[in-house]
Structure 1
């Protein structure tokens, strides 16, 4: 199965009136990680604030491990960052190898700061990301429409779709994941298998979110919803939608979608019916995830995220948008609600 293109997922807002190009230059797409905590200044690990462009985060970690003479597993990151962008993120290494950093040179990479800390950086150790994105093409005539759309998204929330990169190049991770779960492919071990299984989980989540939008239920609490508190992880079951709706409207709580696995809290009622339909339509036996309980434990993900700190300005050749997203949210998902987006691909 091929991964659905972004255009296949229904938007929350009407079709955009303006088209634009992103990532025409690396500097058009700037991302800065917001850490969950600051390094304390002492400990057995060294936190590096790294600025990069033209490289994926895994490639940077591979090169760093090779130059320092350590295993890639000794390196810690909070999250992945785009290749065709200027990004800043924290990366941790064992402090005992910090003296070798003086010899580390890599085109497109700068180490901006080094601070010791007590623990290794782990996936998810971030609060979110700050973005400044230049959309090439739209001019002054698009400012009013863009502001209106941002206002609507601020009031309703932004669909929390997984971006297309989650499914692998041309959807190959998704295809292999589906074959593995159906027993048609022998799984490989390690990080690749984790990515393949998470691609299937992401597909189920995106399809559930799409169904809620198509049925006009994106901003509604419905019977059996599994809710999560804003900025938290605690889940609870919605038993009285009318009572919970005001809290949802105030962004105190959010409905969640399924990431199948043995530890996933299952929805019931009307919400559970939607999720069951989605899983069945994908031809997946929910119990198949039991074989991979250590790699695909399952869980819930908010169906929307709150947009904060959004601002726009006219720049030469386009419009620049500044905004902050929570951890795990995709900038391209927000941008497609504002413009018909084309990603510049002539970067070698």
Structure 2
């Protein structure tokens, strides 16, 4: 029996992701930026293989963000003391070096502008397509909810629990990168819950919100709702939610009460009680509750839809698909 639900990522080639770099490599320096195309491999696995091939510690290989495994993706990685001509000859399992250019320093987590997606969605009925187009028009106007996708939380959504144990000193990990990732899953859980319980529309702000300026990324406390609401409707600013940490910008009033209550419910110490384990920095940040979807194009190609669009760094294509189509089937599974 054919499923009535749309299906995506049926093949890796039907989920393409191209990283949009924050800046181009300069052509000079002690590091080499290599642009990798990979398929059915994680970013971590490729980074480890690169490190092994050129005989450097795995921690010295940098990359801006993790890319999907069940996909065809491109991204930049940095390797110290690697001749670009040698880089182009490296043989990687499930990946290929497309470019290699020198740069003065290592590529750090978060140093990307965003990602461009080229997806195929199968088994979409005319009614579902009509609904998706109407929802996309609304999202272009108001923005996409910037919640974290399910993949952020790991198998059976266990990563937030692991992050909580690390944060509270109940568990330790020698691998600091992995420890930070687990804590970030807990931060993501808190943000998603705050977004879920926020009653205000995405294109509005509340008194006491920490708002983010779209163009500059600057943060400020909302004190004049009437003035700032007009700016929010124009997408000049957006409300933010918490990525908890010791240096996070704090909201005020009812917004602060709501965020603190949710953190307490999820076992996260609030305010000065938040003391990260030794050796782990958890500065925190504010994440906008919505983002713009860049140049979305949804076209019918025979029996499926092709969807091309871009999202800022840290935002999830799967979230956008859920907003447009509701529940979907991922991959070849029947349920």
TM-score, structure 1 as length reference: 0.88
Deviation at 1:345, TM superposition (A): 5.7
Distance in 2, Cα, partners of 1:42 & 1:180: 40
Deviation at 1:168, TM superposition (A): 2.0
Contact 1:225/1:267 (<8 A) preserved? yes
The size of the alignment, in residue pairs, is 326
Distance in 1, Cα, partners of 2:210 & 2:80: 40
Distance 1:233 1:216, change over 3 A: closer
Contact 1:261/1:289 (<8 A) preserved? yes
Deviation at 1:156, TM superposition (A): 1.2
Matched with 1:248 is: 232
Correspondence for 2:40 among 50, 54, 64 = 54
Distance 1:288 1:196, change over 3 A: farther
Matched with 2:208 is: 224
Distance in 1, Cα, partners of 2:34 & 2:12: 22
Matched with 1:205 is: 191
Residues 1-348 of structure 1 aligned to structure 2 (within 5 Å) = 19-98=5-84, 100-101=86-87, 103-183=89-169, 185-189=170-174, 190-212=176-198, 215-286=199-270, 287-292=272-277, 294-339=280-325, 340-344=327-331
Contact 1:51/1:110 (<8 A) preserved? yes
- For each residue in 1:91-129, what CA deviation from the matched residue of structure 2 results, as whole angstroms up to 9, or x when unmatched? 111243545435521243121111112222111111111
Contact 2:84/2:102 (<8 A) preserved? no
Deviation at 1:28, TM superposition (A): 0.4
Distance in 2, Cα, partners of 1:72 & 1:248: 43
Contact 2:211/2:240 (<8 A) preserved? yes
5+ residue gaps in structure 2?
none
5+ residue gaps in structure 1?
1-17
Distance in 2, Cα, partners of 1:110 & 1:133: 21
- For each residue in 1:119-165, what CA deviation from the matched residue of structure 2 results, as whole angstroms up to 9, or x when unmatched? 22111111111001111110444332221111001111111011122
Deviation at 1:178, TM superposition (A): 2.1
Which deviates further from its counterpart, 95-104 or 267-276?
Answer: 95-104
Which SS does the other structure have where 1:96 is aligned?
coil
Which SS does the other structure have where 2:239 is aligned?
strand
Distance 1:272 1:345, change over 3 A: farther
TM-score, structure 2 as length reference: 0.91
Contact 1:68/1:100 (<8 A) preserved? no
Contact 2:168/2:276 (<8 A) preserved? no
- For each residue in 1:235-256, what CA deviation from the matched residue of structure 2 results, as whole angstroms up to 9, or x when unmatched? 1100011110011111111111
Contact 2:79/2:106 (<8 A) preserved? yes
Distance 1:289 1:316, change over 3 A: farther
Contact 1:32/1:89 (<8 A) preserved? yes
